[in-house]
C-alpha cells in the first residue's frame, strides 16, 4: 500500500470521491472535492461502453468523450492533480480496454509517472489479473479490487490476492448510482471482509446523501460517492466547483464525525 493510502485511512473513516475525467473543468472540480474534505480521489477514465455504470456515470462518460477526451488527457489531469495535491491518494477507475490498449506496461508506467496510487479496473476480475495486475504492481501501483454481495467466502481469498490500497465493497449487486443496500447487510458484509483482510474497506454504489454516508462510516473505513457528484458536474457545468465543494463538505462532515458519540 502506498503511504498516501495508509495516511488517508489512518485518521478514521475516509471520504472517497469519484468524478469522470474530462467531464467539465476536471482540475477545478477535483480541487473543489479536496477543498470540501475528500480524503481519496477516484478519477474515472471515460469509456464508450461503461457496462457497470448507471445513467449518471454513463452520461458523464459520453459528455467527456464527446469533448474529445483522450487517454493522454486523463493522464495529464492526474499529473496536474498530483502536482497540486502531493498528499491526496489518487485512483484511476475505468474499464479494461482503454487501460490495456497500448500495453499494460505502458499504462502502468504512465500512470505511475502521473502520480497515480491505485487502479480499479471494473472488468478485470482476479481470474484475468495477468492482463494488467503484474504491470501495475511492478510500477508500484495498487490494484484495488471490488468485492460484491455475490463474492462468497470461498471466492474472497482470490479477490484479496494481489490486491492493495483498499478493498472496495460494492454494496449492491447492480450498477452505479441506483439503489442503496440495507444498512444491516452492509454492516454484516463489512464485518466479514474486515475479518479476512487488513486492507481498509470502503463501501460504495448508491450512496447519495450525507445521512447514508454517515451510517456507512460508522462501520466501514471509507465511503465512496460517485453518481451524486457526477450529477452535479452534469447539472452545473462550469459552475460545478462551488456546488461540489459544498456537497463534499457535507459528506465529509458526516463521514468524519460518524463515530463521535452523539451529544
Partner 1 sequence: MTDLVNSFRTQPDAEGHFGQFGGRYVAETLMPLILDLEAEYRAAKADPAFKAQFDHLMKHYVGRPSPLYYAERLTDHFRKSAPDGKGPKIYFKREELNHTGAHKINNCIGQILLAIRMGKTRIIAETGAGQHGVATATVAARFGLPCTIFMGAKDVERQKPNVFRMKLLGAEVQPVTSGAQTLKDAMNEALRDWVANVHDTFYIIGTAAGPHPYPELVRDFQSVIGTEARAQILEAEGRLPDLLIAPVGGGSNAIGLFHPFLDDAQVAMIGTEAAGHGLDKEHAASLAGGSPGILHGNKTYLLQDEDGQITEAHSISAGLDYPGIGPEHSWLHEIGRASYLPITDDEALEAFQLCCKLEGIIPALESAHALAALPHKVAEYGEDQIVIVNLSGRGDKDIFTVADAMGVAM
Nearest to 55 by CA among 10, 20, 90: 20
User: How far is it, in rounded angstroms, from Cα 210 to Cα 203?
Assistant: 14
Q: Least separation, in Å, of the C-beta of 174 and partner 1?
A: 4
Least separation in angstroms between CB 246 and partner 1 = 30
149 binds partner 1 (CB under 8 A): yes
Q: Does 159 bind partner 1 (CB under 8 A)?
A: yes
Among 11, 150, 198, 262, binds partner 1 (CB under 8 A): 150
Instruction: Determine which residue in the list 99, 114, 135, 143 makes contact with partner 1, applying CB under 8 A.
Output: 99
Nearer to partner 1, 102 or 259 (CB): 102
Q: Does 52 interact with partner 1 (rule: CB under 8 A)?
A: yes
H/E stretch holding 143: strand 142-143
**Shortest CA distance to 46 belongs to which of 25, 64, 26, 67?**
64
Nearer to partner 1, 97 or 239 (CB): 97
Residues 6+ apart with CB under 8 A from 130: none
**In whole angstroms, how close is the CB of 148 to partner 1 at the nearest point?**
4
Q: In what order do the strands lie in the sheet with 40-44?
A: 142-143, 118-121, 90-94, 40-44, 14-20, 222-225, 201-204, 167-170, 146-147
- Pick the closer one to partner 1 by CB: 180 or 248: 180
- Nearest-approach distance from CB 248 to partner 1, in angstroms: 27
Can you tell me the distance from the alpha carbon of 84 to that of 96, in angstroms, rounded to the nearest whole number? 28
User: Site residues for partner 1, window 112-141 (CB under 8 A)?
Assistant: 122-125, 127-128, 131
- For residue 42, indicate whether it is catalytic: yes
d(CA 144, CA 204): 13
Please tell me which residue in 31, 39, 42, 117 is annotated as part of the active site.
42
Q: Is 219 in the site for partner 1 (CB under 8 A)?
A: no
Write the CB contacts of 65 (distance below 8 Å, at least 6 apart in sequence): 22, 46, 48
CA 21/CA 260 separation, integer angstroms? 34
CA angle 51, 243, 78 (to 5 degrees): 55
Can 39 be counted among the known catalytic residues? no
Select the span of 12-20, 76-84, 151-159, 180-188 touching partner 1 (CB under 8 A).
151-159
Quick one: cell of 159? 479477490
Active-site option among 23, 53, 142, 214: 53
Q: Which stretch binds partner 1 (CB under 8 A): 22-30, 94-102, 221-229, 245-253?
A: 94-102
Residues contributing to the site for partner 1 (CB under 8 A): 47-54, 58, 62, 65, 70-71, 95-102, 122-125, 127-128, 131, 145-152, 155, 159, 170, 172-175, 178
Amino acid at each position: 500500500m502506498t503511504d498516501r493510502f495508509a495516511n488517508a485511512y489512518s485518521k478514521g473513516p475516509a471520504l472517497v470521491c469519484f468524478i469522470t475525467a474530462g467531464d467539465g473543468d476536471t482540475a477545478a472540480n477535483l480541487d473543489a472535492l479536496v477543498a470540501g474534505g475528500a480524503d481519496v480521489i477516484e478519477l474515472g477514465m471515460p469509456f464508450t461502453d461503461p457496462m457497470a455504470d448507471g445513467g449518471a456515470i454513463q452520461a458523464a462518460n459520453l459528455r467527456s468523450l464527446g469533448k474529445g477526451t483522450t487517454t493522454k488527457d486523463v493522464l495529464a489531469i492526474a499529473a496536474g492533480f498530483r502536482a497540486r495535491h502531493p498528499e491526496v491518494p489518487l485512483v484511476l477507475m475505468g474499464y479494461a480496454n482503454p487501460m490495456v490498449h497500448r500495453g499494460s506496461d505502458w499504462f502502468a508506467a504512465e500512470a505511475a509517472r502521473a502520480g497515480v496510487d491505485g487502479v480499479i479496473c471494473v472488468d478485470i476480475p482476479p481470474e484475468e489479473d495477468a492482463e494488467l495486475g503484474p504491470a501495475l504492481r511492478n510500477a508500484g501501483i495498487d490494484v484495488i479490487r471490488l468485492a460484491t454481495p455475490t463474492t462468497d467466502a470461498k471466492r474472497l481469498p482470490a479477490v484479496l490476492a494481489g490486491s492493495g490500497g483498499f478493498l472496495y465493497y460494492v454494496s449492491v449487486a447492480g450498477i452505479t448510482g441506483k439503489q442503496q443496500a440495507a444498512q444491516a447487510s452492509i454492516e454484516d458484509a463489512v464485518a466479514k471482509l474486515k475479518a479476512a483482510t487488513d486492507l481498509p474497506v470502503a463501501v460504495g454504489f448508491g450512496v447519495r446523501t450525507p445521512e447514508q454516508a454517515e451510517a456507512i462510516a460508522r462501520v466501514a473505513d471509507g465511503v465512496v460517492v460517485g453518481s451524486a457528484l457526477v450529477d452535479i458536474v452534469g447539472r452545473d457545468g462550469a459552475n460545478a466547483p462551488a456546488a461540489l465543494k459544498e456537497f463534499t463538505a457535507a459528506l465529509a462532515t458526516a463521514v468524519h464525525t460518524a463515530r463521535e458519540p452523539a451529544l
